[in-house]
Amino acid sequence: MRNVILKVHLYLGLTAAIFLVILGLTGAIIAFEGDADHWMHPSLWYAKGGPRTLPEANLIRAAQEKFAPARVAGVQIPRNKSLVHVMQMSDRASVYVNPYDGLIQGRTTGPSGTERTLAFIHQVHLRLAGDPRSSFSPIGKTIISYAGLLLVILVPTGFVLWWRTRRASVNWSGSWFRICFDAHHAIGLYSMLFLFVAGATGVLIGFDWGEKTIYAMTNSHPPDFRTKPPQSIPKTGATPIDADRAMEIARGAMPEATVAAVQLPLGPKAAYNVQMRVPEESSEAVHSTVTIDQYSGQVLKIKNFKTDSQGYRWIRFNRSIHTGDVLGTPTHILMSLSSLLLVAMAVTGIVIWWKKLAV
């Protein structure tokens, strides 16, 4: 039986090795996808703090006066208090405003070089293609999904093989083959839980049947994203409420949540859409919204992630685990290191096979 497991582990490992290396290298980088642009452009993103933030209406006014006739269409408010507020302008530019003193720290149009590079790496991680619209993209996604599935099989078979030798350390004074042999066993032991979780969560994301299985297990359905948001009712002579009042109303409607973004009404029938982050949302993406009439301040609709279907919440949590968003920076670091260990496992495994083949 051990020989059978050894053959299964060997051939599956050789089949998936190059793709696991790609997954590991790209995964180690995109684990910090949300922070990389901040680190590369600190003068644009990081704001000097103060005792309290200015009213959002003041920040919006500063951006609109500076870059008229463009208007602020939306505001992104990061969880990290040391970051600027980002104004999405009607001319598709982004304006970065210090929320403590109202200083405009910069303006950009389109993604930065860092963001384009990370987007390319992200697509390679998902589809082996930098452009998701390429003809190879569906094939690449299938290959990557199966590589993740093979990883799920490699982890337990590797543990069975390890149990016989139970090597948990590396003899650095030995030959290069012995070092690779020991490292393969030791790294596999200490990283197997994280690699199994990364593989299993990736499989649920990669294959179409992953989400279907979760919805079937929870006897639930995906949310309906086709419903159009309600509109404001124009009133002659009425003065629209400002962004601060809209945010205050949204906090009152969802007191357990924090404001993550505000979509401003640019037309007479448009409404405020205040995106709220509830504690149950562990990913960077936000899925709760309070829609507010721009004239009366009436709450027109509340979409609360806590009341979404159980299957949808499981799917989002699964994605948060895979990306490392679940606990923020600590799990980003953990997933990045695990990805690098996956590369080490693939490389040492190939070295062991090559040496034995030569013998």
Q: Tell me the pLDDT tens digit for each residue of 238-258.
A: 899 999 999 999 999 999 999
- Position 217 scores a pLDDT of 95
Q: How far is residue 278's CA from residue 286's CA, in Å, rounded to a whole number?
A: 8
Reduced to 3 states, what is the DSSP secondary structure of residue 248? helix
Q: CA nearest 199: which of 122, 144, 118, 160? A: 144
- Residue 358 pLDDT > 80: no
Q: Is pLDDT of 359 > 60?
A: no
At 175-210, the pLDDT tens digits run: 888 999 999 999 999 999 999 999 999 999 999 999
Return d(Cα 331, Cα 133) in angstroms, integer.
31
- The fold for domain 243-308 equals SHC Adaptor Protein (3.30.505)
Query: To 10 degrees, what angle do helices 176-206 and 137-165 make?
Result: 130
What is the domain partition of the chain in residue ranges?
A: 2-35+115-220+314-358, 42-111, 243-308
93, amino acid identity: A
* Structure tokens given for 256: 């357990």
Average pLDDT taken over every residue of the chain: 94
| Cα distance between residue 312 and residue 218, in whole Å | 9
DSSP 101-160: T--EEEEEES--HHHHHHHHHHHHHHHSSS-TTSTTHHHHHHHHHHHHHHHHHHHHHHHH
The CA distance from 203 to 210, in Å, is: 7
Which has the closest alpha carbon to 148: 213, 211, 208, 195? 195
pLDDT over 70 for what percent of the chain? Answer: 99
Identify the band that residue 320 occupies on the pLDDT scale cut at 50, 70 and 90: very high
The CA distance from 116 to 159, in Å, is 39
pLDDT digits (tens, 9 = 90+) for 123-174: 999 999 999 999 999 999 999 999 999 999 999 999 999 998 888 899 999 8
Distance CA 231, CA 315 (A): 30
Q: Is 315 left (phi over 0), alpha (psi -120 to 50) or beta?
A: alpha
pTM: 0.89
pLDDT in tens, 258-293: 999 999 999 999 999 999 999 888 787 899 999 999
Cα–Cα distance measured from residue 135 to residue 63, given in angstroms and rounded to the nearest whole number: 41
Residue 167: its pLDDT value, please? 83
